[in-house]
C-alpha cells in the first residue's frame, strides 16, 4: 500500500546469513535436503530488515520446490556490488514462465491451489522489496535443473557507517 519505508545502513552479511540458516535448517532437514551457507566477509548498504524478508521468501520457495539435492545461500563481491544468490536444485522454471512467477497469486504446477505450496505471494513480495530498495533482482532457471535468484546489493567497506534513507534527498 506504499506505507513501507526503507532505512539504509551498512552491515555485515554473515550474521544475517547465520540467522537465515537457523530459520531454514529444520525445513531442509525434514525434506532430506542440504542447506549450505557459504561464509562471507561482505558488507552491504541497504535496509537489513527488508533484505532479510526478501531472502526469507527466496529460501522458503527454494526449499519448497526442491525435492532432492539442496539449496545454497552465497554472496560474491564484484566491484561496488555484492551479488547475493539463492541457488537450488529444484524443479526449475521454464523461460516462458519466468516473468509470470513475479505476479501475485501465480503458482506454477499447482492447479488445485494447495495452500501447502504457498499462496503465490513470495516472489511478488521479493520483487516489490527489491524495487523499494533499488536492488537489481535477477533469475536464471532451467526446468529440471533448478534456479538461481540473485539480488545485487551496494557493497561497502567493513565497518562503514551509513544513515542514508532510500528515496530521501541526501
In sequence order, the 6+-apart residues with CB closer than 8 A to the CB of 111 are none
Residue 65 near residue 28 (C-beta atoms within 8 A): no
DSSP for 14-47 reads: HHHHHHHHHHHHHHHHHTT-EEEE-----EEEE-
In sequence order, the 6+-apart residues with CB closer than 8 A to the CB of 91 are 65, 66, 67, 109, 143, 144, 146
pTM summary value:
0.82
For 154-168, what is the mean pLDDT? 64
pLDDT at 54 over 90: yes
CA distance 18 to 131: 25
91's grid cell: 524443479
pLDDT digits (tens, 9 = 90+) for 94-119: 776 656 665 654 555 544 545 555 55
pLDDT digits (tens, 9 = 90+) for 67-83: 999 999 999 999 999 99
- Identify the pLDDT of residue 1: 47
Q: Where does the chain have alpha helices with state H?
A: 13-30, 48-64, 122-133
CA distance 156 to 43: 5
For 59-68, what is the mean pLDDT? 93
Amino acid at each position: 500500500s506504499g506505507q513501507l519505508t526503507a532505512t539504509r545502513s551498512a552491515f555485515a552479511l554473515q550474521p544475517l546469513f547465520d540467522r537465515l540458516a537457523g530459520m531454514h535448517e529444520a525445513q531442509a532437514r525434514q525434506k532430506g535436503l542440504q542447506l549450505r551457507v557459504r561464509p562471507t566477509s561482505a558488507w552491504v548498504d541497504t535496509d537489513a530488515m527488508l533484505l532479510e524478508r526478501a531472502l526469507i521468501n527466496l529460501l522458503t520457495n527454494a526449499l519448497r520446490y526442491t525435492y532432492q539435492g539442496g539449496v545454497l545461500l552465497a554472496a560474491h563481491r564484484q566491484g561496488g556490488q555484492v551479488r547475493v544468490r539463492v541457488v537450488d536444485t529444484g524443479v526449475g522454471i521454464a523461460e516462458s514462465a519466468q516473468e509470470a512467477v513475479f505476479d501475485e497469486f501465480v503458482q506454477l504446477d499447482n492447479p488445485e491451489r494447495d495452500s501447502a505450496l504457498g499462496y503465490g505471494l513470495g516472489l511478488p513480495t521479493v520483487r516489490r522489496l527489491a524495487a523499494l530498495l533499488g536492488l537489481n533482482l535477477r533469475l536464471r532457471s532451467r526446468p529440471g535443473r533448478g534456479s538461481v535468484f540473485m539480488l545485487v546489493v551496494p557493497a561497502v567497506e567493513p565497518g562503514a557507517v551509513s544513515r542514508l534513507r532510500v528515496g530521501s534527498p541526501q
